[in-house]
Amino acid sequence: MSLFRIIGGGLRALFRKQQAERDLDEELRAYAEIAVAEKMQAGMSREEAVRKARLEMGGMEALKEDVRDVGWEAALESFLQDVRYGMRMLRKNPAFTAIAVLALALGIGANTAMFSVIEAVLLRPLPYSNPHELARVASTWERGGITTPYSSSPPDFFDWRDQNRSFSSMFAYRAGEYALTGRGEAKRVRAVIATAGIFSTLQAHPALGREFLTEENRKGADHVVVLSYGLWQAEFGGAADAIGRTIELDSEPYTIVGVMPAEFFFPLPGSDAYVPIGFDDKVMTQRGAHFLQVLGRLKSGVSVARANDDLAGIMAELRKLYPGKDGKWGVRADRWSSALVGETRPALLVLLGAVGLVALIACANISNLLLARATVRHRELAMRRALGAGRSRLVRQMLTEGLLLALLAGAASLLLAHWALGLIVSFGPKDIPRLANVGLNGAVLAFTMSVSIACAVLFGLIPALRSSALDAAGLVRMSISPSGEAGRLRSALLIGEVALSMMLLAGAGLLVRSFIGLRSLSPGFDPKDVLTMDVSVPEAHYKNSVAVQNYWEEVITQLRSLPGVRSVAATTPLPLSGDDFSSSFRVEGRSVPEKDEPSAELRWATPNYFRTMSIPLRKGRAFEDSDRLGAARVLLISETAARMFFPGGDVIGQKINFGARGGYEKNEGEIVGIVGDVHHFGVDAPVPPTFYAPLAQAGMGGATVVLRAEGPLAALAQSARKLVQGLDHDVLVGQPMPMETLVSGSFGERRFYMMLLVAFAGLAVLLAALGLYGVISYSVAQRTQEMGIRVALGASDVQVVSMVMAQGLRLAGVGLAIGLVLAMMLKSVLKGFLVGVSTTDPATLSVTALVLLMVALLASYVPARRAARVEPMVALRFE
Amino acid sequence: MSQESRGVVQGKLDMLILKTLALEPMHGYGVGLRIEQISKGVFQVNAGSLFPAFRRLERQGLIEGEWRATENNRRAKYYILTKPGRKKLKTEAREWQSQTAAIARILEATSGEL
């Protein structure tokens, strides 16, 4: 049969429905008449013939229904009919509809929001062509069996780039910051400083002008810049003649050679400019200078595993050539999309799992509501069944009603999700890449739609099957006295809800406890009342250590004179700022082969730093004002470093010599004191062994000012910034930031996950409480008569209330017990997220159970009160 | 309630209706009666099976309905076999015959023939 005929016949039938109906009626009447006539001819009486004919034809309505069911239009039509009928039912019970839609919308909305985050952070392809070919190549440093990824050194990068057979191109870059000077007050420019291959590897090309040339990667030829679209707009108003003009970065002229398109960003949104790395001949031999990020584009068809084999081969050769330096260094390639996301991925997936449970609880809730309503609707179903509706027709109808409900909820959930995403973006930590790009888009809509439909099937199927399983007679009986089976089913669903909420709440509780534990840990200094402010001194103005030393002395003297300032110092890199500096070193008098030299973190600080930050001095002395250029070079050592490198205790007086240079001067000196440990990388991260050198003796240009204040920091912040800016307009002064913000920022990701899980658990508990309330109220309503009799026979209020509440608590109790077991099974899921708390922490679990128990008490108390207020006479007249 | 299961082989009612209508155009009751008569009462087809089948065949374009007067001067919807219907009947009948012949051969087989 041709498709044309199938569609045409169906459409004709749809549009000429009434005629077809009349036709069918007439045909059936004619059939009956002929049948009667034939039977009378065969000798039956008229009555007998009519009776016989009717018997033979069977139920007329059922027959017509069977005829109507032929053809596709019948399915569509019955669906539309179901939709209309369903809408009517939903409108007729606005309270039921509102509660169901709200509960479901909460469940689906949480899922929509969570999926939006995952879509933006994990699923959305990177905005470069063929992003799956991009791979991060990183050095690895192996120590004590643990391999950690590391930045790469220029010579390693060039060897990888030139010797590999797996990558079509490769480039190296580092993040940098410049002060945009010479145009009034200095502005901060976030730059990517990269080798010439950056744009060709990313397959992204300037909208205006040209890319970097290879020779621009030599020191001296590197003063060109490609602007981001944003900076071009902001500084040049989008003028095409910006190409060829000059801007001043850190007071040095850079020629603008290109402008990137508006949609381009690298490596994350927010880069303002791209500048070539100028390598000098010296850096080309420094295999230990690990400061580059490397990104390559795999040749098509080359897997990451093959690239890794290739690189490992190159590295093995290099180790032979340079045995001293590369002994413990390796190399490793990872797909960039996953390298970028890193540890965020498992956390987000756990949260998606949690939010899925919330949806499940919401579904159980609606299922329960529908089951309760189905008991009321049995009469209606029995009627429809008696009138010839088949079982599948009833199931279809009830599922359609569920679908309507779910789609309504899905639409409402988009509003909730939109609102939730606003919160997530504004409160989300900055270290989750691309979180700011989150939004409702096609993929999210499709997800919400699928979840809604899945929910409809999930919550609609049980009640639909149950009601339709009964034949007409059974349904009529059911409508008179409901069976216990429905009650058991509803109790089981409720127990499931409580169990799942218990599990979620326990998980959230553990995260909260772990977080509180973290907050109470000390970072090793006192962040309260401390203000920080980055200051970058352009090399062009301060060409030597003396100039730098004088600048810093001036800044600190001036700042100290501000009212409300108790003490001032400068340091770099600042703890918890994300920056760090480490170097290998030699201890004078110990002869150790170069490749076995220990390495440690190195910090620079002005004399007052330890007092300002309240970092305790353990032994010897701190820095003093006399520790300047020209004086004897001194160093301080952290407790951990002292223990690690001088287990004998003979620390003070040791002479240390670092391989790396910080500022203009070499880093070496005699240890004069031991100071307390500082959690530089995060309160929950291990304490690194650290040395401190005086800022002045190192000739460091850029550092962070730290101010300890009395009184509000906000007022001080602006006056401090103005003051430093006033000293030299070409110095880049960052936005002042309270040290406490940095401390809490270092918990950002943890707090974000904790808050989300707490929100989800809260939702789960709310839904479970609603469910419990619903089940108990319903059972109270059904037992009104029984209550009346009890009251009439002398049961007191207290007895009735406690009887009803006992029912609720029994259900909740079983749920709690199951939930407790489930919570214990969370171990492997939560282990990575907890610090200092066991996954079976008894305190947390008992508090969780107690909270849920209280909620259960409340949810069953309200209907129990109502039961106790039943008037015996009213109750007995009921029904 | 259904006598179809007692009478006509599942799915073969359509073929029987087509065959009946190939003899002459006929109204619904007549088709049922004719099948019962020709099968000597083995197959009894009631309205509940006939009408959905008519609708199905009509929709497939194998038969067409037309209101006509009966011999007793009543109005009834007569069904007429169309050209595609005739073709369909031919292929169905051929298929059925080859199938029944094959089944008969299998049922009559003795061990010696194997």
A783-842 per-position pLDDT tens digit: 777 888 888 888 888 888 888 888 888 989 999 999 999 888 887 788 777 877 887 888
Q: How far apart are CA A621 and CA A636, in angstroms?
A: 8
- Chain A residues whose CB is inside 8 A of the B51 CB are 24, 27-28, 63, 66-67
Count Cβ atoms below 10 Å from residue A19 Cβ, excluding itself. 11
Convert the pLDDT of each residue in A181-214 to its tens digit: 877 777 888 899 999 989 999 999 999 999 998 8
pTM reported for the whole predicted model: 0.71
Q: Is the pLDDT of residue A580 over 70?
A: yes
ω into A616 cis (within 30 of 0) = no
In chain A, count of helices (H) and strands (E)?
A: 28, 23
Scanning the structure block, which residue is given the tokens 């508090």?
A847
- Flag if A38 and B55 touch (Cβ within 8 Å): no
Interface check B98 vs A, CB under 8 A? no
Q: Is the pLDDT of residue A326 over 50?
A: no
State whether the Cα torsion A656-A662-A665-A671 is positive or negative.
negative
Q: Could you report the predicted ipTM of this complex, rounded to two decimals?
A: 0.82
Q: Are A707 and A716 in contact (CB under 8 A)?
A: yes
When the pLDDT of each residue in chain A is averaged and rounded to a whole number, the result is 85
Convert the pLDDT of each residue in A226-246 to its tens digit: 999 999 999 998 888 889 999
Convert the pLDDT of each residue in B4-34 to its tens digit: 444 566 668 889 999 999 999 999 888 988 9
Q: Are A171 and A277 in contact (CB under 8 A)?
A: no
Q: How far apart are CA A733 and CA A185, in angstroms?
A: 10
Q: What is the DSSP letter of A218?
A: B
Q: Mean per-residue pLDDT for A156-172?
A: 93
Q: Is the pLDDT of residue A325 over 60?
A: no
Structure tokens given for A74:
């019948």
Residue A127: predicted pLDDT: 82
Q: Are A140 and A312 in contact (CB under 8 A)?
A: no
Q: Is the pLDDT of residue A163 over 90?
A: yes
Structure tokens given for A1:
């049969």
- Chain B residues whose CB is inside 8 A of the A34 CB are 27, 29-30, 70, 74, 76
Structure tokens given for A178:
């410049």
Convert the pLDDT of each residue in A821-836 to its tens digit: 988 888 778 877 787 7
Residue B9: predicted pLDDT: 66
- Flag if A30 and B27 touch (Cβ within 8 Å): yes
- Flag if A63 and B51 touch (Cβ within 8 Å): yes
Residue B114: predicted pLDDT: 55
Mutation pick from B55, B60, B82, B88 vs chain A, by most beta carbons of A within 10 Å, is B55
Count Cβ atoms below 10 Å from residue A571 Cβ, excluding itself. 24
Check: CATH 1.10.10.10 for B13-113? Answer: yes
Q: Is the pLDDT of residue A480 over 70?
A: no
Q: Is the pLDDT of residue B1 over 50?
A: no
Domain map (residue ranges) of chain B: 13-113
Q: Mean per-residue pLDDT for A292-299?
A: 93
Residue A739: predicted pLDDT: 93
Q: Are A273 and A178 in contact (CB under 8 A)?
A: yes
Question: Which residue of chain A comes nearest to B85, CA vs CA?
Answer: A1
Question: Which residue of chain A comes nearest to B84, CA vs CA?
Answer: A1
In percent, the amount of chain A with pLDDT more than 70 equals: 93
Nearest to A519 by CA among A734, A745, A236: A745
Question: Which residue of chain A comes nearest to B28, CA vs CA?
Answer: A31
Q: How far apart are CA A374 and CA A382, in angstroms?
A: 11
- Flag if B56 and A70 touch (Cβ within 8 Å): yes
Q: How far apart are CA A355 and CA A351, in angstroms?
A: 6
Q: How far apart are CA B109 and CA B98, in angstroms?
A: 16
Closest in A30, A62, A69 to B76, CB measured = A30
Convert the pLDDT of each residue in A586-619 to its tens digit: 898 888 776 667 878 899 999 999 999 999 999 9
Instruction: Report the SS3 class of residue A65.
Output: helix
Better-scored residue on pLDDT, A160 or B71? A160
Phi, psi of A823 (to 5 degrees): -60, -40
Nearest to A780 by CA among A711, A864, A841: A864
Convert the pLDDT of each residue in A419-447 to its tens digit: 999 888 888 887 777 888 888 888 899 99
Interface contacts A/B by beta carbons within 8 Å? 71
Structure tokens given for A158:
């060039």
Q: How far apart are CA B1 and CA B22, in angstroms?
A: 29
Q: Mean per-residue pLDDT for A473-479?
A: 58
Residue A256: predicted pLDDT: 94
Q: How far apart are CA A823 and CA A504, in angstroms?
A: 8
Residue A677: predicted pLDDT: 94
Convert the pLDDT of each residue in A632-660 to its tens digit: 999 999 999 999 999 988 899 999 988 76
- Chain B residues whose CB is inside 8 A of the A69 CB are 52
Convert the pLDDT of each residue in A62-82 to its tens digit: 788 788 777 777 778 778 888
Confidence class for position A219, pLDDT limits 50, 70, 90: confident
Q: How far apart are CA A289 and CA A295, in angstroms?
A: 18
Residue A426 to residues A109, A190, A422, A760: CA-CA distances in angstroms?
18, 22, 6, 18
Q: Mean per-residue pLDDT for A145-156?
A: 77
- Flag if B55 and A70 touch (Cβ within 8 Å): yes
Scanning the structure block, which residue is given the tokens 């708390």?
A837
Q: How far apart are CA A372 and CA A779, in angstroms?
A: 9
Q: Is the pLDDT of residue A561 over 80?
A: yes
Interface check A30 vs B, CB under 8 A? yes
Interface check A75 vs B, CB under 8 A? no
Q: Which stretches of A428-483 are DSSP H helices?
A: 442-469, 472-480
- Chain B residues whose CB is inside 8 A of the A13 CB are 59
Phi, psi of A665 (to 5 degrees): -110, 165
In percent, the amount of chain B with pLDDT more than 90 equals: 26
Q: Is the pLDDT of residue A562 over 70?
A: yes
Closest in B27, B52, B74 to A67, CB measured = B52
Confidence class for position A669, pLDDT limits 50, 70, 90: very high
- Flag if B60 and A1 touch (Cβ within 8 Å): yes
Question: Which residue of chain A comes nearest to B60, CA vs CA?
Answer: A1
Interface check B30 vs A, CB under 8 A? yes
Convert the pLDDT of each residue in A93-143 to its tens digit: 888 888 889 989 999 999 999 999 999 888 888 888 888 899 999 988 766
Interface check A20 vs B, CB under 8 A? no
- Chain A residues whose CB is inside 8 A of the B87 CB are none
Q: How far apart are CA A752 and CA A220, in angstroms?
A: 45
Residue A783 to residues A26, A293, A363, A822, B54: CA-CA distances in angstroms?
52, 72, 26, 34, 53
Which of A28-42, A327-341, A675-689 is the least confident region? A327-341
The strand pairing partners of A149, in sequence order, are: A140
